[in-house]
Amino acid sequence: MRAWLRDTAGGLSATYWYLWTGLLINKVGGFAILFLSLYLTSQRGAGTAQAGLIVGTYGIGGLAGTLAGGVLTDRWGRRRTLLASHFGTVAALVALALSSELVLIAVLCTLLGVAQSMAGPAFVAAIIDVTPAENRSRAFNLQFWALNLGLAGASLLAGLLAQWSYLGLFLIDATCTLVTGLLIAWKVPETLRRPVTITRAGFGTVLKDRIFLVFVALTLIQALIYTQSQTIVPLAMHADGLSPSAYGSVVALGGALIVLGQLFVPRLIDGRRKHRVLALALLVDGLGFGLLVVADHLAVYLLAAVIWTVGSMLAAPPNAEINSELAPLALRGRYQAVFFLTFPAASFLAPALGGAGLEFLGDAHWLVVGALGAAAAGLHLWAGPPRERRAAAIRADTSVTADLR
């Protein structure tokens, strides 16, 4: 057991562990958004359509905040951006708890989306800064595990707190965010090392990087496939006459698998070519969702959930590791911002495209999803070698820059 713990967590700096602890605390307490639509309809008198629009403003703010976070991460530094994000989130959550006018709540939701999403690029950039390349797979694997453990905890606590007090739900979320901000202020130093040559490059440079954009596009496809589990699968289960509690069982099983099994993933994939691991992960994802073409009982949905969850578990570490490798030192924040945009984009596109697919294609929709996974697997195998050559060149350049200091 000790050897396994050493292999899983060894070689990671104290700064990494403070960042990891802050992420876990923040995610366990991050339940306000989970119940925001219910809060608006039950406590603030909003109609269903109004609640949807107001919650949508959070996503709009998230897009803007992700881009702003990328720029600030490179200009201000990681620490300042993280502090601004967390303390801004605290202010927005407290204001939301005390607000009753729907227009004001919509404005505050937008600001909350901006503040919360700013942290993403800075958080990942800081991990890259303090973690040697050979340890990043473990670092990102543990980050993914903490994220899912925190979300599982938040989901359990949110239901209990909502029955007790929505005001308490927002304020406890704010308190957890404040604790994370104070931990960062106390223990996390600035990790940005200024490059020898100051660059004026910006998002234009990122958007001209074809190798990186191909990787981002493949990540978007992966996100579109996996997001089916949160958006279209519940509709398919309802059409099959299964209850909401049955879908809850599917979600709970996936979360339990990640919490129990993610820490063992590095032993399975360490030393293997990352593009091959991603190709396998996309094939497994496609197989899991493709299985739904014959699903009409809960047992088949549960089996499919096991398969697609394994795919997501395999994909998480190499996905994050490749993202870190392709980002030049001077533009790490901007590269992270563009990468992070894939997730809100998938949150919008998956229900729109998936809903149309399920309506017009019926069960054949899942064959399309499975074929998409197979196509993405093939594209990873094609794009992998040039991607690895680019990553090696960036590592060499970063090493030379460090030596010149």
Burial environment of residue 293 by CB neighbours within 10 A (0 to 12, 13 to 18, 19 or more): middle
Residue-range definition of the domain harbouring residue 267: 201-400
Residue 375 included in any domain: yes
CA–CA separation, 101 and 50 (whole Å): 12
Q: How many CA atoms lie within 13 A of 82 on its CB side?
A: 29
Check if the beta carbon of residue 288 is closer than 8 Å to that of residue 307. Answer: yes
Strand ranges in 165-208 using DSSP code E only, listed in sequence order? none
Residue, of 345 and 112, whose pLDDT is higher? 112
3-state class percentages of the chain: helix first, strand second, coil last, to nearest 5: 85, 0, 15
Residue 2 included in any domain: no
For residue 156, pLDDT over 80 is answered with: no
Kindly report the CA angle at 191 between 190 and 192, in degrees rounded to 5?
100
Residue 316 included in any domain: yes
User: Who contacts 324 (Cβ-Cβ below 8 Å, separation ≥6)?
Assistant: 124, 127, 128, 136, 140
* 288 & 151 share domain: no
User: Who contacts 125 (Cβ-Cβ below 8 Å, separation ≥6)?
Assistant: 73, 78, 191, 192, 327, 332, 333, 336
Check if the beta carbon of residue 365 is closer than 8 Å to that of residue 350. Answer: no
Q: How many CA atoms lie within 13 A of 308 on its CB side?
A: 32
Check if the beta carbon of residue 155 is closer than 8 Å to that of residue 34. Answer: yes
Tell me the mean pLDDT in the region 53-73.
85
* 38 & 178 share domain: yes
Q: Which of 190, 210, 230 is the last residue of a domain?
A: 190
DSSP-derived letter for residue 326 is: T
Report the amino acid identity of residue 344.
P
CA–CA separation, 190 and 397 (whole Å): 22
Q: Which of 136, 155, 190 is the last residue of a domain?
A: 190
* 236 & 150 share domain: no
Confidence of residue 330 (pLDDT cuts 50, 70, 90): confident
Q: Model confidence over 266-284: pLDDT tens digits?
A: 888 888 899 999 999 999 9
Report the length, in residues, of the chain. Answer: 405
Q: Which of 190, 217, 244 is the last residue of a domain?
A: 190
* 210 & 349 share domain: yes
For residue 367, pLDDT over 90 is answered with: yes
| Per-residue pLDDT at 315 | 93
Q: Model confidence over 216-270: pLDDT tens digits?
A: 999 999 999 998 887 788 888 888 888 877 887 887 788 888 888 888 888 888 8
Tell me the mean pLDDT in the region 169-181.
91
* 183 & 61 share domain: yes
| Per-residue pLDDT at 381 | 97
Check if the beta carbon of residue 231 is closer than 8 Å to that of residue 350. Answer: yes
- Residue that the structure tokens 């009409």 belong to: 296
Residue 62 included in any domain: yes
* 368 & 280 share domain: yes
Residue 255 included in any domain: yes
Tell me the mean pLDDT in the region 57-72.
86
For residue 383, pLDDT over 80 is answered with: yes
Residue, of 252 and 61, whose pLDDT is higher? 61
For residue 3, pLDDT over 60 is answered with: no
CA–CA separation, 400 and 110 (whole Å): 42
Determine phi and psi for 244, rounding to 5 degrees: -55, -35
**The whole model's pTM is what?**
0.77
| Per-residue pLDDT at 288 | 96
Q: Sign (positive/negative) of CA torsion 28, 34, 36, 42?
A: negative
Helices (H), 188-329: 203-207, 210-231, 233-239, 244-261, 265-269, 274-290, 298-325
* 92 & 177 share domain: yes
The domain tally of the chain equals 2
Rg (CA), the chain: 21
* 327 & 377 share domain: yes
Residue 196 included in any domain: no
Residue 138 included in any domain: yes
* 131 & 253 share domain: no
* 168 & 231 share domain: no
| Per-residue pLDDT at 163 | 66
| CATH code, domain carrying 48 | 1.20.1250.20
For residue 151, pLDDT over 80 is answered with: no
* 218 & 366 share domain: yes
Tell me the mean pLDDT in the region 355-367.
88
| Whole-number average pLDDT of the chain | 84
Confidence of residue 197 (pLDDT cuts 50, 70, 90): very low
* 102 & 162 share domain: yes
| Per-residue pLDDT at 38 | 67
| Per-residue pLDDT at 401 | 45
User: Who contacts 96 (Cβ-Cβ below 8 Å, separation ≥6)?
Assistant: 32, 105, 108, 109, 112, 170
| Per-residue pLDDT at 375 | 97
For residue 137, pLDDT over 90 is answered with: no
Tell me the mean pLDDT in the region 68-96.
93
Share of the chain above pLDDT 90, in %: 36
Residue, of 5 and 264, whose pLDDT is higher? 264
Confidence of residue 306 (pLDDT cuts 50, 70, 90): very high
Tokens found for residue 84: 């601004």
Residue 8 included in any domain: no
For residue 173, pLDDT over 70 is answered with: yes
Tell me the mean pLDDT in the region 393-404.
58
